[in-house]
A = this chain, B = another copy of it.
């Protein structure tokens, strides 16, 4: 199934805010003074790098909020792979609107495509295993819904969207609660029937205590492939297993081959570089 789009309703506040941030109190004074009203232009969004695109609805909306009469023709869906030089979309209409909206459109598109591309690199590196690459809550403030969408566009899976949609018991929770048993027991008593529980462990000695409480998933933090392999064997399907810590395209294969179900990487959303996408004028 193709990646379902985010409703415009969810996208619009972020795009509107970004445009107002850029327009400031006087609008695009360069374009307004240098380009005559009525001047028409035709441009293309062109990939300058190989990767996976995401965020085309954000770009489209940036231009359409400025000028609903722009003709925007999107050639590739979010999630599509691009090679350098590939045309992603073409825009025709008011030269002023195209130039005024360019930066906001590209800021969304290149940022989200950067995340999708980083995700796709890992996804591909572990495609021969059953493991899936997943994101974290280490996202850019205000853009979590968009960045999580970009992870999906890149072929990744989403972890929690916030503090409220799943239980994730970390080392500090356990330390304060006194034990894994206490922590899981208290969490289970508090939550609804559609909330899952994951617990983080730092060493294999904690595994039996954790498993005894039937968590849905166990987060194996900062373990070597050998340790992960041992953990997966010990879990034996009684919970999902997630590996985290220092994941990149080089380390991911060995970790995935250890048999874990999930590999999570904060890097996808907090440090992925943009995908270089440019705007070329066609005459």
A272 CB to nearest chain B CB (Å) = 8
Q: How far is the CA of A36 from the CA of B1 in the complex (A)?
A: 8
B26 and A25 form a contact (CB under 8 A): no
A31 within 8 A of B: yes
B198 and A194 form a contact (CB under 8 A): yes
A223 within 8 A of B: no
In A1-41, the 8 Å CB interface with B consists of 1-2, 4, 6-7, 9-10, 14-37, 39, 41
User: In the complex, what residues of B have CB within 8 A of residue A27's CB?
Assistant: 4, 6-7, 10, 163-164
A164 and B161 form a contact (CB under 8 A): yes
Copies of this chain per assembly: 6
Q: How far is the CA of A104 from the CA of B169 in the complex (A)?
A: 17
**CB 8 Å contact bits of A181-198 with B (1 = contact, 0 = none):** 011001101111111101
Closest to A191 in B: B29
User: In the complex, what residues of B have CB within 8 A of residue A30's CB?
Assistant: 163, 167-170, 173, 187
By a beta-carbon cutoff of 8 Å, the part of chain A in contact with chain B is 1-2, 4, 6-7, 9-10, 14-37, 39, 41, 65-66, 95-96, 99-100, 103-104, 106-108, 110-111, 114, 132, 134, 137-145, 148-149, 157-170, 172-173, 175-177, 182-183, 186-187, 189-196, 198, 216-217, 240, 242, 261-262, 267, 270-274, 281
Given the interface pairs A20-B10, A26-B148, A172-B281, the reply to whether A31 lies near B141 with Cβ below 8 Å is no
A141 and B108 form a contact (CB under 8 A): yes
Given the interface pairs A164-B27, A176-B95, A193-B134, the reply to whether A142 lies near B139 with Cβ below 8 Å is no
User: In the complex, what residues of B have CB within 8 A of residue A99's CB?
Assistant: 172-173
Q: How far is the CA of A193 from the CA of B216 in the complex (A)?
A: 9
Interface centre among A34, A111, A161, A176 (most CB of B within 10 A): A34
Q: How far is the CA of A8 from the CA of B122 in the complex (A)?
A: 39
Of B66, B107, B141, the contact of A138 (CB 8 Å cutoff): B107
User: In the complex, what residues of B have CB within 8 A of residue A137's CB?
Assistant: 22, 103, 107
B24 and A165 form a contact (CB under 8 A): yes
